[in-house]
């Protein structure tokens, strides 16, 4: 019963103003598409002073060859000026060149950059000259590098049969095996020496401090694993995603809290 009553009412509600009717709301948007064409056969020439329409074109004159489709044309990179620090891109005031889509969605829309027009180059030329401005990091890639190092567990292989003491070059080689090249002077070991072989240290970690660009410092976990040339003395390989490991040196509650705070401030 209610359906029969409301059926004639619904079209009457929108019949007063056709602009409010949902069926009439149509969006017409021009498609910005350009094709560059060339006639396959040239048209007839017309004598000077005569009407060009006096000679009718034939069907072959409407045959075109495609010269270029502008939609598939390789777009040039876009140059922008950063107005703030962007991780992995650059510092404030840097002029960088990126692909148009990436620069538009990641930098221009969030307000992190402006177009590198002559007016903007002159307007934002003071960003790097400000005395009170200090870059957040020494390099655009430092923040990403610090996050990678903080989440790493570097395996340090030490001899099971020969006495040893861990030195910076041991850690440097272990980093190199993991695909990271670090100079020895950028590696700071714990104050207490680590000597072995000692099976109580097997699969335990110690922290080293890595300095990046002589400015930023980040703690990195290194895991001790004993290795032997004798097959009978070899230990099973250590899984990098192993359960939480114990530290080589006991850590007090106060040190744990201060370490967590320092890690949080470094990563933020």
Q: Please, what is the angle between helix 253-267 and helix 142-150, to 10°?
A: 150
pLDDT digits (tens, 9 = 90+) for 169-218: 999 999 999 999 999 999 999 999 999 899 999 989 999 999 999 999 99
Domain ranges across the chain: 78-123, 142-263
Q: How far apart are CA 10 and CA 98, in angstroms?
A: 53
> Quick one: pLDDT at residue 256?
43
pLDDT of residue 32: 73
pTM of the shown model: 0.60
DSSP 129-167: T-SS---SSSSTTHHHHHHHHHT-EEEEEEESSS-EE--
pLDDT, residue 228, reads 87
- Reported as a single tens digit per residue, the pLDDT across 35-63 is 999 999 998 888 888 888 878 888 999 99
- Both tokens of residue 179? 């695909």
Question: What is residue 2's predicted lDDT score, i.e. its pLDDT?
Answer: 43
Give the list of residues 6+ apart from residue 222 with CB closer than 8 angstroms, or none: 153, 154, 155, 156, 171, 174, 205, 206, 207, 208
Tell me which residue of 171, 265, 244 sits closest to 210, measured CA to CA.
171
CATH of 78-123, one of 3.40.980.10, 3.50.30.50, 3.10.50.40, 3.40.5.10: 3.40.5.10
Q: Does the pLDDT value for residue 158 go beyond 80? A: yes
State the average pLDDT over residues 220-233.
Answer: 88
Q: What is the pLDDT of residues 249-268, one digit of tens each?
A: 876 433 444 444 444 344 33
CA distance 229 to 157: 12
Please give the CATH architecture assigned to the domain spanning 142-263: Roll (3.10)
Count other C-beta atoms under 10 Å from residue 221's C-beta. Answer: 16
Closest CA to 120 of 85, 90, 79, 86: 79
pLDDT at residue 88 above 50?
yes
Please tell me the predicted confidence (pLDDT) of residue 257.
Answer: 42
Residue 265: predicted pLDDT = 42
């Amino acid at each position: 019963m209610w359906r029969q009553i409301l059926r004639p009412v619904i079209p009457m509600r929108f019949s007063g103003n056709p602009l409010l009717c949902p069926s009439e709301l149509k969006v017409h948007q021009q498609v910005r598409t350009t094709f560059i064409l060339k006639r396959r056969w040239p048209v007839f020439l017309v004598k000077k002073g005569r009407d060009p329409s006096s000679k009718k074109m034939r069907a072959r004159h409407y045959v075109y060859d495609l010269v270029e489709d502008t939609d598939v044309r390789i777009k040039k990179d876009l140059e922008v000026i950063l107005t703030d620090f962007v991780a992995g891109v650059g510092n404030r005031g840097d002029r960088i060149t990126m692909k148009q889509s990436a620069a538009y969605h990641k930098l221009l829309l969030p307000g992190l950059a402006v177009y590198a027009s002559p007016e903007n180059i002159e307007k934002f030329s003071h960003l790097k000259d400000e005395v009170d401005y200090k870059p957040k990091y020494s390099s655009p890639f430092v923040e990403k590098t610090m996050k990678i190092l903080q989440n790493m567990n570097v395996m340090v292989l030490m001899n099971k049969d020969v006495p040893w003491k861990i030195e910076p070059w041991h850690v440097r080689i272990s980093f190199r095996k993991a695909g990271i090249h670090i100079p020895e002077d950028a590696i700071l070991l714990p104050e207490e020496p680590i000597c072995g072989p000692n099976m109580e240290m097997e699969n335990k970690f110690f922290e080293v401090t890595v300095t990046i660009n002589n400015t930023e410092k980040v703690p990195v976990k290194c895991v001790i694993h004993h290795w032997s040339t004798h097959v009978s003395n070899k230990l099973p390989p250590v899984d990098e995603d192993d359960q939480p490991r114990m530290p080589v040196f006991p850590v007090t509650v106060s040190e744990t809290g201060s370490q967590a705070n320092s890690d949080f401030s470094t990563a933020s």
